[in-house]
Amino acid sequence: MAIISCYECDGKVSDTAASCPHCGAPSKSNALIINNNLMTNSELLPPILERTQNRELIYFDNTSVIVSNTRVLTTSNGKTFAIRNIGAVQKRVKEAPKLAWIIIGVLVAAFGHSSIVAIAIGIAFIAIGLSLKHTYFVCLTIADIPNHAIQSTDENLIDKIIQAINQSVADYR
Ligand SMILES: [Zn+2]
């Protein structure tokens, strides 16, 4: 057994380890070359290889976020989280102040003595309020510290990623 440097994070890894304990990158001989033709966008995929083969299994891949049996990888900012280090997976929501804009819009229209200009401004405020979107986060707790690992206004996408991470964490244990 020898200690080598991880090819992704430069952390110290045993050459017999199946994956890096720091970033979750699979050992190079086991690394699955991610073939975009194999992965359908935004589809939750079943593990495509047997775990006994000691290969990297892909649970989710939409090219910007990849969830495998060893890691969560965000290709946009290059952040990786090793599955083995994840203590909890949670969904968090940062609510957009929709109601505040709508209330201001109603008040402007009402206190402008219902003039055309006041109503127009009021409607504009209400339209802004309605167009604002909540932001959803995949929150990963690592060493008791919560990290907002992935964010999107697409709640369905966040739900799919969380489902894939939960599956990977469950299979890992
Ligand atoms: Zn590493």
The one-digit pLDDT tens for each residue of the chain (173 residues) are: 788 888 888 888 888 887 888 888 887 665 444 433 344 433 444 444 444 455 688 999 998 999 999 999 998 888 899 999 999 999 999 999 999 999 999 999 888 877 899 999 999 999 999 999 999 999 999 989 999 999 999 999 999 999 999 999 998 87
Q: How far is CA 154 from CA 29, 37, 42, 89, 169, in A?
A: 36, 24, 12, 18, 23
pTM of the shown model: 0.68
Q: Residues with Cβ < 8 Å from 166, sequence gap 6 or more?
A: 89
Give residues with Cβ within 8 angstroms of 119, minimum separation 6: 109, 112
Other residues' Cβ atoms within 10 Å of the Cβ of residue 46: 9
Q: How many angstroms separate the alpha carbon of residue 81 from the centre of ligand 1?
A: 10
Question: Where do the domains of the chain lie?
Answer: 3-94+133-172, 98-131
Q: So what's the pLDDT on residue 100?
A: 96
- What CATH class does 3-94+133-172 carry? mainly beta
Q: What is the whole-number distance in angstroms between the Cα of residue 11 and the centre of ligand 1?
A: 5
Please tell me what DSSP assigns to residue 8: T
